Amino acid sequence: MKAIILAAGEGARMGPFTVSEPKVMIPVGNRPILEYVVEALVENGIHDLVFVTGYRRERIQSHFEDGRKFHANIEYAVQEKQLGTMHAVWEARGHLQGAFLVVNGSNYVDAQAIADLLNVGTGPALLITESEAQEKYGVVSLSGHYVDKIVEKPRHPEGNLINTGVYAFDASALSLMESLLNEGQYDLPSLVQALAAKNRVRAVRTKGTWLDALYPWDLLKLNSHVLGGIADVQSGTIEKDVTLRGKVAIGEGSRIRSGTYILGPAVIGRGCEIGPNIVIYPSTSIGDNVKVQAFTAIENSILMNDVLVGPHSTIAHSVVGSGVRVASNLMASADRANAHVEGEWHVVDPIGGLVGEDTEIRDGVVIEPGSLVGARCRIGALSRVRGNVPNGTTVM
Amino acid sequence: MCGIVGYAGYREALPILIDSLKRLEYRGYDSAGVAVVEDSVKIVKDKGYIANLESQLPQLRGVVGLAHTRWATHGAPSKDNAHPFYDCREKIALAHNGIIENYAELRDELKAHGHTFRSQTDTEVLVHLVEQSYAGNLEDAIRKALARCTGTYAIAVVHADEPDKLVAARNFSPLIVGLGAEENYVASDVPALLKYTDKVLYVMDREIVVLRPKSVQILDFEGRPVAREPQRITWSLEDAERGGFDHFMLKEIFEQPQAIHNTLLGRMTEVDTNGFFQDVTSVKLVACGTSYHASLVGKYVLEEVAKVPTTVELASEYRYAPTPTEQPLVILLSQSGETADTLGAAREAKRRGCKTLGITNGVGSSLTRETERTMYTRAGLEIGVAATKTFTAQLVALYLVAIRMGLDRGALSPEDANRLRDELRALPRHVQTVLNQADPIADLARAYAGARDMFFIGRGINYPVAMEGALKMKEISYIHAEAYAGGELKHGPLALLTPDTPVVAVTVRDRNYEKMMGNVGEVNARGSPVIAVGTEGGRDLPRFVEHVVYVPKVRDLLYPVPVSVVFQLLAYYAARKRGCPIDKPRNLAKTVTVE
């Protein structure tokens, strides 16, 4: 059986974290979200994968290549315009024979969830889960074990079962898809509705894990989840008087300098220089080629690749994009705060700073909790950043 | 999911089987095994990756055999449960992909007949069933055996008494036959065979296929022959390996952030040279082609960072030049490490009593044996003939060498070294920023792809970058391209400029910016369109030139990296517009092993 993985979207709600890469490539636990999805499928014996790519597709191709490194056989289809999920599957139709799965590449899903879907046998099926944020998803009502209807983003949701975007279809779905596309319907829920009207679509409640990341702070939740599963493996050079507690993974060629204290779970990538005298608290991911200088404390945060953090900085519950450079004394501490994304306010507790890729932060900057700093900004010394700063802004 | 391959031909089967099997490793990887027919049937198998199996293979000369890579369904991953399996008398070997649903009852029945089982797999019942049914003809025995089984399978079987025959069968699990000249193959999937043949037969469900070196016969489960037309596979192994990119060159251009990461990896704190550079008083960089251009950039880097007088020579010239008395450190650069002229130059340098350092991407290549020390660029395999990621990785290696040499010679303070290293760390990001502009760069390249001639100009450290830009343009798009130092235009080349000759100018904000703008003015006066590469944030360029591509602001010394990525993209998209065979330009080979 083949699986189609939807990976074409930009992920606008992820703000400055998708300037260089599509949402599926955002790292949590130092691996792109999409890698966990591939792993869940491969563990279930599904090795033939079709990635539907679009926005910044080269990033996906460079990472996954032909899939051999991931024990998969990956083919690529392109969705030039991101019209909808069914349209995406349609763009991959040339790669399909027989029954197939459809999985969203930007949602974390584990092998158990995929297994639950596979175990119900043949015929169309949909993976559902409970959620308290129903208004952001398609809410599924059931009749018995089968889908009755899906209501997209309802104001007054009936029940708390939502569509995870993980589907199983058989070959006959393709012809129905064609007629729906001709009617101007582009999303998979409309296909499920149409199938449910003709036949029956099994709704599968999973015991496994399915996690969505809609907003940048959701990445922290995902990050702490996946860090639960890391291996306690240390490469590189660990100088004396370094304390490691709990599960800590350290990549090849990294150097952890004296006096550094790391509380796992934490993962540090390849070619990093950490320390001396750094404290890293649990649920922190530090990417490749990152340098963190003396007397800095980092807690429950993601630092992506190529980040440089100067001395005496505090970074808590924060997401720091690739290539961010901090001179020294950055304060990004966490509190309950309002964050503003794509025209909506969200209360997040706790949250630190969200800093987009390649932004340069000079000495002594304070980023107030919940602030979203765009990509390629320049934040002058002693600035206090409150609220959102658009991409490319210079703050003096 | 498992993978099967089989071979019946005139060559030794073992290397072909192992090579094909590796192409199927994606289908399963917990154990692997191989069976080859000699006087008897020999089986070698173990748990783990195919590489593990490969490391313990004896010499087997047989020309018929089969191999299997497994993903455990019934029975744990172990040597005992690895395929292929013997029958009781070790005359038959069988490998299987799929599941035999009624294996438990068959197993009990076979045990009652006195068969001994050595594994926990469902597969083993098949081989004993075949043994039970065998009466001198393998395909008949298989047909009878399969009639007893329910489930899904693709199998491959050999028998010691019929040493020129390989029999395979299919029900639901994939199986294809590859047709060669006096040799034939079976495999679970096309990639396993692409290296050997593009002519295949698709085996359908409930069919048996009998392969001999000179014949292939398909039978149905009733033993009746089936006619099937061979088909030609139009995609190549390369299509699969390009992983979604249209050309290897484009794939490799986009791999550069990772290639730079890997080249920097673990060396930011130290290039392990143990004082190798301490007594160096002068350096000579020796290379060919693109590596020569990297060397020309290296001259500026070494002189500025390590404060060491540096000269650059083409390897083919150095070898035959007169021997001076001076003994510089000779640094030899070669992507492959197999370039004949560069190897010759390394031997010549040694003969002259010089210390030698090799910089290469070819792990274990000849250059590593011809030089005292080696520094690897870890760019990964480069397949496109036009060097891209190995060029930028060579530049990064040269920066690292210069820092180490500067420190060893006391010419660079530790603080300055740290600052430069922090800036090197940012290079992958700067390259990514250029890659993010691939679409507008492609538009520009397409607009000028019709040009007959093109000029590249730059000054200082960006002059060799212009030379590399011109080389890329020439070698893959076949546009005649020349590079000039900005100040040289007025000494001749201006005569060649017309409104139809685009000029690509490196006008980044470095110490030569004002001078370069003067040269751009000279070009403008001849009406030639200018494509300028400028520094992000600069506002005045669009007032003077038609087109600007911006690169991030870096220190003067580091501009060659992002600027050369712009040139790679320009050349690639121009060549594509012109319909050139980008990965294999005419008359060129990836590694030049002739002098």
Over residues B498-556, the pLDDT tens digits come to: 999 999 999 999 999 999 999 999 999 999 999 999 999 888 899 999 899 999 999 99
CATH 3.90.550.10 domain range(s) in chain A: 2-214
A84/chain B closest Cα distance in angstroms: 21
> Higher-confidence residue: A250 or A230?
A250
Confidence (pLDDT) at B237: 67
Matching CATH number, B242-425, of 3.30.70.2190, 3.40.50.10490, 3.30.2270.10, 3.30.1370.60: 3.40.50.10490
Over residues A94-103, the pLDDT tens digits come to: 888 889 999 9
Q: Is the pLDDT of residue B270 over 60?
A: no
The mean pLDDT of A170-199, rounded to a whole number, is 91
Chain CA centroid to CA B587, Å: 21
Confidence (pLDDT) at B594: 63
- In our burial notation (b when 16+ CB lie closer than 10 A, e otherwise), range B485-512 reads bbeebeeebbeebeeebbbbbbbbbbeb
Give the CATH class of A226-395. mainly beta
A72/chain B closest Cα distance in angstroms: 5
Q: Does A304 touch chain B (CB under 8 A)?
A: no
What does the alpha-carbon distance between residue A133 and residue A163 come to, in Å, rounded to a whole number? 12
List Cα–Cα distances, B348 to A69, B131, B223, B293, in angstroms.
41, 66, 70, 21
Over residues A162-180, the pLDDT tens digits come to: 999 999 999 889 889 999 9
| Test mutation, B432, B436, B550, chain A, max A CBs within 10 A | B432
- In our burial notation (b when 16+ CB lie closer than 10 A, e otherwise), range B229-259 reads eeeebeeebebbbbbbbebbbbbbbbbbbbb
Q: Is the pLDDT of residue B50 over 90?
A: no
Q: Is the pLDDT of residue B490 over 90?
A: no
Catalytic site includes residue B144: no
Confidence (pLDDT) at B273: 65
**In a 3-state reduction of DSSP, which class is residue A15?**
helix
Residue A95: exposure state from Cβ atoms within 10 A (0-12, 13-18, ≥19): middle
The mean pLDDT of B132-141, rounded to a whole number, is 94
Contact call for B244 and A357, based on CB within 8 A: no
Confidence (pLDDT) at A86: 95
Confidence (pLDDT) at A226: 96
- In our burial notation (b when 16+ CB lie closer than 10 A, e otherwise), range B342-366 reads bbbbbebbeebebbbbbbbbbeebb
Confidence (pLDDT) at A350: 94
Matching CATH number, A2-214, of 3.90.550.10, 3.20.20.140, 3.90.1170.50, 3.30.70.890: 3.90.550.10
Over residues B178-204, the pLDDT tens digits come to: 999 899 999 988 778 888 988 888 888
> Higher-confidence residue: B152 or A148?
A148
Contact call for B438 and A62, based on CB within 8 A: no
B67/chain A closest Cα distance in angstroms: 18
A35/chain B closest Cα distance in angstroms: 15
The mean pLDDT of A81-88, rounded to a whole number, is 93
SS3 content of chain B, % helix, strand, coil (to 5): 40, 25, 40
Confidence (pLDDT) at B250: 96
Q: Cβ of B294: how many Cβ atoms within 10 Å? A: 32
Over residues A349-386, the pLDDT tens digits come to: 899 999 999 999 999 999 999 999 999 999 999 999 99
Res. B590 pLDDT band, cuts 50 70 90 = low
Over residues B411-433, the pLDDT tens digits come to: 999 999 999 999 999 999 999 99
Confidence (pLDDT) at B260: 94
The mean pLDDT of B229-253, rounded to a whole number, is 81
Confidence (pLDDT) at B583: 83
Which residues of chain B neighbour A255 with C-beta distances below 8 Å? Answer: 269
Confidence (pLDDT) at B271: 52
The mean pLDDT of A217-240, rounded to a whole number, is 92
Confidence (pLDDT) at A210: 95
Confidence (pLDDT) at B533: 97
Confidence (pLDDT) at B592: 66
SS3 content of chain A, % helix, strand, coil (to 5): 20, 35, 45
Contact call for A20 and B241, based on CB within 8 A: no
Q: Is the pLDDT of residue A160 over 70?
A: yes
Confidence (pLDDT) at B563: 98
Contact call for A306 and B428, based on CB within 8 A: yes
The mean pLDDT of A54-71, rounded to a whole number, is 91
Over residues A266-289, the pLDDT tens digits come to: 999 999 999 999 999 999 999 999
Confidence (pLDDT) at A341: 85
Give me chain A's average pLDDT, please: 93
**Catalytic pick from B144, B307, B515, B590?**
B590
Res. B1 pLDDT band, cuts 50 70 90 = low
Q: Which helix (H) or strand (E) holds B505?
A: strand B503-506
Phi, psi of B302, deg, nearest 5: -65, -40
Res. A183 pLDDT band, cuts 50 70 90 = very high
Q: Does A299 touch chain B (CB under 8 A)?
A: no
Contact call for B1 and A289, based on CB within 8 A: no
Catalytic site includes residue B88: no
Contact call for A325 and B438, based on CB within 8 A: no
Give the CATH class of B435-587. alpha beta
β-bridge partners, A245 = A263
What does the alpha-carbon distance between residue B432 and residue B552 come to, in Å, rounded to a whole number? 10
**Amino acid (one-letter) located at A140:** V
Q: Is the pLDDT of residue B278 over 70?
A: yes
Q: Is the pLDDT of residue A249 over 70?
A: yes
Q: Does A247 touch chain B (CB under 8 A)?
A: no
Confidence (pLDDT) at B360: 92
Res. B276 pLDDT band, cuts 50 70 90 = confident
Over residues A118-147, the pLDDT tens digits come to: 998 888 999 999 998 888 899 999 999 999
CATH 3.40.50.10490 domain range(s) in chain B: 242-425, 435-587
Residue with tokens 């993980």: A166
Which residues of chain A neighbour B250 with C-beta distances below 8 Å? Answer: 58
Q: Is the pLDDT of residue B268 over 60?
A: no
Kindly report the CATH number that applies to the domain delimited by B3-241: 3.60.20.10
Phi, psi of A66, deg, nearest 5: -90, 5
Confidence (pLDDT) at B25: 73
CATH 2.160.10.10 domain range(s) in chain A: 226-395
Phi, psi of B464, deg, nearest 5: -60, -25
CATH 3.60.20.10 domain range(s) in chain B: 3-241
Residue with tokens 């492959």: B336
Nearest to A255 among B269, B433, B552 (CB): B269
Q: Does A39 touch chain B (CB under 8 A)?
A: no
Interior CA angle at B424 toward B419 and B425, to 5°?
100
Which residues of chain A neighbour B433 with C-beta distances below 8 Å? Answer: 20, 358
Q: Does A325 touch chain B (CB under 8 A)?
A: yes
> Higher-confidence residue: B77 or B300?
B300
Q: Is the pLDDT of residue B236 over 70?
A: no
Give me chain B's average pLDDT, please: 90
